[in-house]
Structure 1
């Protein structure tokens, strides 16, 4: 079935794609403590963005977004979500057919310009900020259509809350905080801190869904090999 899509017009932003980076985080998932690594590799033929979370040596989650670039910035083609003990799920952005389909649910969504997945939005929001830092003025709003691997899709509307100091592993970093408030009861609440000194990539993030929180706090960053 084709699901209803959003009823609001979403802006198309200018973007400046960040260079290849590898960000290492402390990761909290509920009471569990571990590490996370976000690897961003853009290239002439497209990109791969990957976040892997590990606890006690075991991989507990792996999010991978692969795609290319278009006038709206990142243009995902496939997003996979693998969690420990569960089957991998995928969202497929069928650009030729103009629709988004899933490996599990039979739901389909129209493929809107600028649509992102639950991995690529972290890079897309950095690319928007890099192209026009004034978009991160306190009180400003950024909005994008974000798709998960479980048949979920919605507008993520972020409000800019201002600059805060984030205590990363290397040294304190000035970062701009944005918050996405849930629109419906089971929506994900998102807080993200973007560092101008790191091409606006996230030095801290907190995602809360149905009472479960995933938190990332950067310890170090380096150019991706």
Structure 2
């Protein structure tokens, strides 16, 4: 799953050597209590397509006793994609990631550590460190955090924008998802990231199922409306 490039927000004054500031806080406060769409443990299976090649994906989860873990595995034919893993705590405002790994076999290709032990909470990505904003998610945990934010809305409607700070190896960036359509109990949210001239626009589309606690049942990523990958929950 592609990660967005740095935005202007990360180019502001640094807090110290190799330390980037958190994204600007959204004026819309995070609800005081968020409910997750998954509990206990289990595995969901998704149909998976990447570059036009069909395959299968699975999301294994464990949500119990104030802790969570998520593991996403994807494959097409004999091609196995790196596995994504997120783990951490659960608080009143949703998921609190502690580690995010991208692993192929037994080797970590990426590792993010959310360090909240010091006077300034940080996200550590190799030799780089980024100031940790409240509510920051990793590139897998945002799936459930988006569900929880949507479920907390008393009267969701088209035009609603939900913001999630998302950490990656290049920093922390605010991801804004706009509700653009509704089909019965399912809601379509989109995010678009415009880039410099000559570079394609990054586009995310997520269908949330209101009957399942706004669980993501369809996720797609495109470049200038050219679909790169898609995940659809198998009923």
Deviation at 1:38, TM superposition (A): 1.5
Identify which of structures 1 and 2 has the higher relative contact order when contacts are C-alpha pairs closer than 8 Å and 6+ apart: 1
Structure 2 spans left out of the alignment, 5+ residues: 1-17
Residue range with higher mean Cα deviation, 19-28 or 139-148: 19-28
Structure number, greater radius of gyration:
2
Distance 2:154 2:76 in 1: 35
TM-score, with structure 1 as normaliser:
0.82
Distance 2:61 2:203 in 1: 23
Give CA deviations for 1:81-125 in whole Å, capped at 9, x if unaligned: 2358x852011110112000113xx22111111100110000111
Change (3 A) 1:188 1:101: farther
Alignment partner, residue 169 of structure 1: none
1:9 aligns to what? 26
Equivalent residue runs for 1:62-73 within 5 Å: 62-73=83-94
Q: CA deviation at 1:183?
A: 4.6
TM-score (norm 2): 0.79
1:168 aligns to what?
Answer: none
Is the Cα–Cα contact under 8 Å of residues 22 and 132 in structure 2 kept in the other structure? no
Match of 1:190 among 191, 204, 211: 204
Unaligned residue ranges in structure 1 (runs of 5+): 166-173, 221-225
Q: Residues 12 and 113 of structure 1 are in contact (CA less than 8 Å); yes or no, is this contact kept in structure 2? A: no
What count of residue pairs does the alignment treat as equivalent? 208
Give the aligned partner of residue 124 of structure 2. 101
